[in-house]
Structure 1
Amino acid sequence: MAHEHAHHDHSISPDADRRWLITALSLIVAFMVGEVIVGLIAESLALLSDAAHMLTDAAAIVLALVAMRLAARPAKGNFTFGLRRVEILSAQVNGITLWVLAAVFVIEAIDRFRNPPDVAGGLVLATAVVGIGVNALATWAISRADRRSLNVEGAFQHLLNDLFAFVATAVAGAIVLFTGWARADAVATLLVAVSMAYAGWGLLRDSWRVFLEAAPRGLDVARIDSDLHAVDGVVDVHDLHVWEVTSGFPNLSAHLLLARDQDCHARREEIAALLAERYGIRHTTLQVDHAQERLIDPADLRSGAAREASPH
C-alpha cells in the first residue's frame, strides 16, 4: 500500500487572519456599547436587536480566534489531525446562535407590531447611519481574512447580517421620523430576523456536511471516479472516499487495481498529481495493486462456500 500526504495551507497566513479578526472585534465592541445606550433612550427594538446581534458578532469573532488558535496546534497522540475540526464546531455554534436570535427577535417584533412604543426616529436614524459605517469597516476587515475557513465565514456572516440590519434600521428610523409610523421598527426587525435565519442555515448545512464526512461542496465524486478509471492501466477502482477534515482540507482514499504490466509506483504518483491539479486534493491515501494480486475478501469466501453448500 502506498500513501501520498500533503498538508493544506491557505493563501492568507493565520497571523494575518487573526489581525483582521481583532481589528473587526475592536470596531464592533466600541460601537456596541454606545448603541445599547441610544437604543434604550430611543426605545427602539431595532437598535437593541442590532446591539444584541453585535454582541453575538463579538462573541463569534472571539470564538473564531480561539478556534483558530486551537486548530493551529500540531497533531499529536490520538489527535492525528490535531484540533482542526474545532473550526467547524465554531461555525456550527455561530449558525445555531443566528437561529436563536432570529426566533427571539421575531417573537418580540410581533409583540411590538401589536403594541408599538413611541420610537425616537431621529436617534434611530442617526445611530443606524453610524452603525452602517462601522459595520462596513468591520465586514471589510473580516473579508480580508481567509473565508474558505467555515470558522472565519461564520464570523463574516454575523457581521454581514448586522450590516443588513443597520440598513433596515436606518430605513425604519427614517419612516418613523418622517411619517410617525412606529411599526416600521418592528418590520425592520422581522426582515433582519429572516436574514439571520438564512445565514444560520448556510453555516449549519456546510458544517454538518463536514461532520457527516460528505464530499466537499463543488467536488463531483462520480466525475473523480470516472477520471480515475480513465487513467491508462487502471482496471478498476474500489473504496473511493472523499471527505473534509476541516474546511479547505479535502481528503481522498481509494483502492486501485492495475493491469499486470503497469508500474504501481509510477501510476500512484501520476494519479496523486492528477487529483491535486484537477481537484485540489493534495492529501491522498492510495492503495495500488495489480489486478491479479488482489487479496480475496473473506466475505467472498463465505458467500462462495454458502453457494456450494446450498442444494441445486
Structure 2
Amino acid sequence: MAVGHDHGDGHSHGPTLSKDAPEEERRSKERAIAIAAILTGGFMGAEVVGGLISGSLALLADAGHMLTDFASLILAWLAFRLARKPADWKRTYGFDRFSVLAAFVNGLSLFAIAIWIVVEAFHRLRDPSEVLGGLMLWVAVGGLIVNILAFWVLSRAEGDNLNVRAAALHVMGDLLGSVAAIVASLVIIWTGWTPIDPILSVFVVLLILRSAWSVVRESGHILLEGAPRGFDTRAIASDLAANIAGVARAHHIHAWSITQERPMATLEVDIESGANAQEVRLEVKKRVQELTGVEHVTVEIADGDARSDHG
C-alpha cells in the first residue's frame, strides 16, 4: 500500500475565522461583542430597579434576560480572546472550538430563562399584582433604545459566526421583551388590565425559543463532530468514482468542523492499477472542494501497484 496526504496549500491550523479571513474580521466581531456587553450591562441595573418599583413582570423578566445576556456576551467575548491564542502541540487547532461551546451554553441559557418566565407568569396570572404603567413605560422605552443599539452593532458583525449569532439572539430576545413591556404598559395605562403583562412575557418567550433551538442544534452538531451542512459522504463517494479517472473507490470519508467557518474533510481513495497517485489526489481534492466548499481536504491514496509521493 502506498499512502499520500494532501492538506491543501497555505493552510494553517492557527485560529483564523476561515482560510482567508483577515484577523481584522475577528477583531471587529470581538469589538461588537464588547460594545453590546457594555450597553446591556449598563442598562440592566436600571431595569431591575424599575421592575421592582413598578411591579412589572415584563420588566423583571427582561432584566433577568439582560443579566444572562450580559453573562453570555462576556462569555462570547472571552471566546474570541481565547481564540487568539496560537495552536500548540496539545491543542493543534487552537481554541477556536471554545466559541462553539460558548454558543451552545448561550443557547441553553435561553431555555432556562424561558422556563423561569413561564413559571413566574403563571403565578402572576393566578395572583395579579399592581403594576405602575407609567414608570414601566419609561423604563421599557429606555431598554428598547439600548437593545436596538446593541442588536445593530451585533448584526453588522454577525456573518456566519455562531458565537456572534447566539449573542445577537440574546439581544433580540431583550429587544422583543422591551417591545412587549411597552405594549403592556400602554394597555395598563389605558385600561388597567394587568394580566397583559405576564401574557406578553410568555409571548416573547415563544418567539425566541425557536431561534434558541436553532443555535443549540447547530452548535451541538459541531461539538459532536457532525458533517458540515450539505456534505453527503454517499454522494461524494459515488461522484468521485464516476467522474475522476483512475479512482476505483472512495471510502472512509469523514467531515467535521472546528467552527462553523472551518470545515474539514478526510477520505481514502483506492486507485486503479497504473494510475498516477499524485494526479488523482489533486483531482480528488479539487472535486471535493467544488462539491462541498470545504477547503481543507486530506486525501489518502492506497494502491499496491501505484507509486505515491507526499504532497
Shorter-chain TM-score tier: 0.7 to 0.9
1:293 CA displacement: 5.7
| Corresponding position of 1:167 | 179
Which of 268, 282, 285 is the equivalent residue of 1:272? 285
Residue identity matched to 1:40 = L
- Rounded Cα–Cα distance in structure 1 between residues aligned with 2:140 and 2:231: 41
The answer to whether the 8 A contact 1:85-1:245 is kept is yes
Going from structure 1 to structure 2, the CA distance change for 1:291 and 1:96 (only over 3 Å counts) comes to same
Which of 271, 290, 299 is the equivalent residue of 1:286? 299
1:208 CA displacement: 1.5
Kindly indicate whether residue 256 of structure 2 is the aligned counterpart of residue 243 of structure 1: yes
- Rounded Cα–Cα distance in structure 1 between residues aligned with 2:259 and 2:275: 35
Give the alignment of 1:121-160 within 5 angstroms. Answer: 121-160=133-172
Give the alignment of 1:10-29 within 5 angstroms. Answer: 10=21, 13-29=25-41
Normalised TM-score (structure 1): 0.88
| Corresponding position of 2:15 | none
Give the alignment of 1:78-97 within 5 angstroms. Answer: 78-97=90-109
Normalised TM-score (structure 2): 0.88
% identical aligned pairs: 36
- Rounded Cα–Cα distance in structure 2 between residues aligned with 1:228 and 1:206: 28
Give the alignment of 1:102-121 within 5 angstroms. Answer: 102-121=114-133
1:269 CA displacement: 1.8
1:133 CA displacement: 2.1
- Rounded Cα–Cα distance in structure 2 between residues aligned with 1:203 and 1:266: 41
**Aligned CA-pair RMSD:** 2.0
**DSSP-derived class of the 2:157 partner:** coil
The answer to whether the 8 A contact 2:268-2:299 is kept is yes
| Corresponding position of 1:232 | 245
Aligned residues: 294
| Corresponding position of 1:3 | 6
Residue identity matched to 1:90 = A
1:223 CA displacement: 3.0
Going from structure 1 to structure 2, the CA distance change for 1:226 and 1:161 (only over 3 Å counts) comes to farther
Deviations 1:239-292 (A, max 9, x none): 011111222111100001222332221222222233334422111111023475
- Rounded Cα–Cα distance in structure 1 between residues aligned with 2:278 and 2:158: 36
Kindly indicate whether residue 80 of structure 2 is the aligned counterpart of residue 77 of structure 1: no
| Corresponding position of 1:305 | none
| Corresponding position of 1:256 | 269
| Corresponding position of 1:101 | 113
Look at both structures and tell me which one has the larger radius of gyration over its CA atoms: 1
**DSSP-derived class of the 1:3 partner:** coil
The answer to whether the 8 A contact 1:99-1:196 is kept is no
- Rounded Cα–Cα distance in structure 2 between residues aligned with 1:31 and 1:172: 20
Kindly indicate whether residue 68 of structure 2 is the aligned counterpart of residue 65 of structure 1: no
1:149 CA displacement: 2.1
Misfit runs of 4+, over 4 Å: 291-294
**DSSP-derived class of the 1:235 partner:** strand
Kindly indicate whether residue 197 of structure 2 is the aligned counterpart of residue 185 of structure 1: yes
